[in-house]
Amino acid sequence: MEKRAFRLPGFLALLVLLVLAAVAVVIGVVTPGPATITLAGVLGFVVLVAATGFVVVNPNDAQVVQFFGRYVGSVREAGFHWTWPLTDRRRITLRVRNFETQKLKVSDADGNPVEIGAVVVWRVVDSANAAFGVDDYVRYVAVQAEAAVRHMATTYPYEAHQPGATSLRDSTVVSEQLTAELAERFALAGVEVLESRVTHLAYAPEIAQAMLARQQASAIVSARYKIVEGAVGMVSGALEQLSAQHVVELDEERKAQMVANLLVVLCGDRAVAPVVNAGTLY
């Protein structure tokens, strides 16, 4: 886990080192002698060693500090700092990043080949885990993001065949599920998922034409169902109004004929030519 490294203001530490360096020069020049030269040499060595502790941290960056292989903390505050000398510092950016997967070809829950792609918005929140939890956290994010998208695509069908069922076309539900799975996968690398969305979703080219015909057939059936439902309501209303207003009295046979004619007119996909009956109804 990330912890705060020991640090001092860099300019204050620089001022102290300059003072020590001046003292070493004065001691070695003004009062020469074996003891003073040794003391001046020790002070100079201390100044040189301490000078290795300066570090500059850019905004939205972190410096992971290691002392001979041991993790001693991270410096997150932007600016000029002084930390433990003789340490190795590794820069970890905390900026928000985007990763867009390639168009992956996978099979959905129904076994249909589909093409899917997603974009993931992420950032590092734990510099220690990002540096030491995985070998390369950027590569780790890329591989795990594609693996999560593939797993999600095999979990849901492209289209829901039952009311209320979840499909890949339900962008809100799918995005929430993908974000939750990515957050679990990225926790090892100290990475937070801010957002994830599917950016590309389509049937594979080899079945795209067949699935398009299927979608068109389903749309036609649904449209016809709505037309018939509306026509039945209109015919029922017409018969009720004719009977309520005593416009004409029809027996069951004539009602059936009238219903058939109205349904043909209302449900037909072509214009109907009316035929005027010059005789009587009976």
Q: Answer whether residue 282 shows pLDDT above 70.
A: no
Residues 259, 182 share a domain: no
Q: What percent of the chain has a predicted confidence (pLDDT) above 90?
A: 30
Task: Indicate whether 187 and 111 sit together in one domain.
Answer: yes
- Whether 213 maps to a domain, the answer reads yes
Q: Do 81 and 22 reside in the same domain of the chain?
A: yes
Report the chain's mean pLDDT, rounded to a whole number: 82
Whether residue 231 lies inside any domain: the answer is: yes
Residue 28 tokens read as 């070695």
- Asked, for residue 282, whether it belongs to a domain, the answer is no
Measure the CA–CA gap between 85 and 66, rounded to whole angstroms: 10
Place of tokens 């998922």: 193
Tokens representing 199?
A: 């950016």
| Angle, alpha carbons 49-51-52 (nearest 5°) | 75
Residues 85 and 114 in one domain: no
Largest CA distance in the chain: 142
Q: Are residues 111 and 42 part of one domain?
A: no
For residues 118 and 32, membership in a common domain is answered with no
What is the residue range of 233's domain? 208-267
Answer yes or no: is 113 within a domain.
yes
Q: Is the separation of the CB atoms in 117 and 102 below 8 Å? A: yes
d(CA 140, CA 122): 12
Domain annotation covers residue 274: no
Q: Is the pTM of this model over 0.85?
A: no
CB-CB contact of 73 with 5 (8 Å): yes
What's the total number of domains in the chain?
A: 3
Mean pLDDT of 156-161: 78
